[in-house]
Structure formats: C-alpha cells, structure tokens
Amino acid sequence: MDKEFLTVGELARLMGTTVRTLQYYDQEGLLKPSAKSEGGRRLYSTKDIVKLHQILSFKYLGFSLEEIRNRLLTLDTPQDVAMALEHQKLAIREEIEALQEALQAVSKLEEEVLADQEVDFTKYAEIIGFLKTGNQGYWVWKHMDEPLRHHIRDRFGEDADAGLKIYEAYKEMVEEALILKRRGEAADSALSQELADRWWNMVLEFTGGDLNLIVQLEAFNNAKGEWNNEMAKKQQEIDAFMNAVLHCYFDGKIS
C-alpha cells in the first residue's frame, strides 16, 4: 500500500503545498483521500494527485474554493470550461481596474500629504472618501476653509449623495453659463435669468439658508488661483457674466 499511495505529508511536498491545506480540502469535501492506513493516516492515490493539480490550477486562476467544488470539477465539456474561464477573465479585468483605481488613489493621497506638510488623518479620510466614490471634486474640499467644511459635514454628513448632486449641478451650470456668455446672451434675457434662478437656489440649498456662508463662498471663489486648473479657468471666464446676470436677477426681485 505504501508504494501505491502517498501520505498527506508526501503529497504536500510533491505538490508544493502544506499538510494543513490538504487537511482543509478534506474537511471541505474538495479532496478526500482515497484510503486510510491502519493507523488512520490519509493516503492519496495517483487520481487524487491529478485532482489536486486541478484544484491548485483553478485556485491560481483566481477561482474561489466554492466555485471549484461546486462548478469547475463537475464540468464535462471543453465548452463548459471555456465559458467558466471567460467569466473568470471578466472578473480578473474588474479586479485589475479596481487595483489601478486604488493605485491612483494612493498616488494622489501621497501628493496631498507631501503638499500639506502636516499630518491630518481626518482630511486624509475625507479625500479617500471622495476618491472611493470616483468623484474628483476632492480638490474643492481641500481648498475650502474649516468653517465651510464643518458646514458640509453637518449638512451632508449622512447624505453624501446630496452634496455630490449639488456639486454636479454646479458644474453643469458653469457649462451653461459658458455657452450663454460666449454667444453674447444678454444678462437680463429669459435664458440668463432662468440660469440665475437655478444658480441662486443651488446656493440656498448648499448653505441651508445661512446667508453668512455666502461671504465664505465668495472668499473660496476668489482663491480659485489654487483650484483645479480646468474649473478655475471656466469659473474665471464666467465671473463677470454671472455677476451681471445675478445683479439683474436681484434687481427683478426687489422691483
């Protein structure tokens, strides 16, 4: 029997794995030994070696032990195996994309840490939160002063989506303002005033009606030399136009 079978230790050495792994595979029903010695030791046949090689190969390709046990070892045709591998290719691509995003987030956070020249783990966590959602608007957050950040935490802390929606609405309105300004739209035209109405309502939604925050928003806008280059250029181009549009808007409210 010793010539026909391998002990668990011998099989582990032959296949480059561990005794503990083989014992776990036995407990999970992945690889049962074909026999046991009189003393109760696990004994594995040539067929078991082939099956273990299959398990380790599928595991190397990223399949879970559950998938290997319940699906892969029971596949009957090359087409079935090819389909399983195709699904695994898609999963691996998604994992690669996720790792690339994580790498970009780490690199970006490294830049921010070195730029600040101080340790601020609260700010790091907030930046990571922006990066995890795929939102590149973290540059807005990092250039805001603490009172504005405190307001955002209090107002949107439990509803991050609401804050992001306001930011996305702001970007869309900047684009609309650029179009109106570049084509020479009058500040008091219906289109300009409709934009002014939405712009002001956005400000009210963001501030929650606290008009004292408008001064801080103006200070934030005036510091746009430190902003993201693209958004800074767009905002700078529309500043005079939007000031005129909002001036007409408030004149209309008063009259």
**More confident of the two residues 158 and 216:** 216
pLDDT for the residue 252: 82
pLDDT for the residue 123: 64
pLDDT for the residue 2: 46
Lowest-confidence segment of 181-190, 210-219, 234-243, 246-255 by average pLDDT? 210-219
Instruction: Please give the Cα distance from 228 to 233 (Å, whole number).
Output: 9
List Cβ neighbours of 32 (8 Å cut-off, separation of 6 or more): 26
**More confident of the two residues 139 and 8:** 8
**More confident of the two residues 80 and 121:** 80
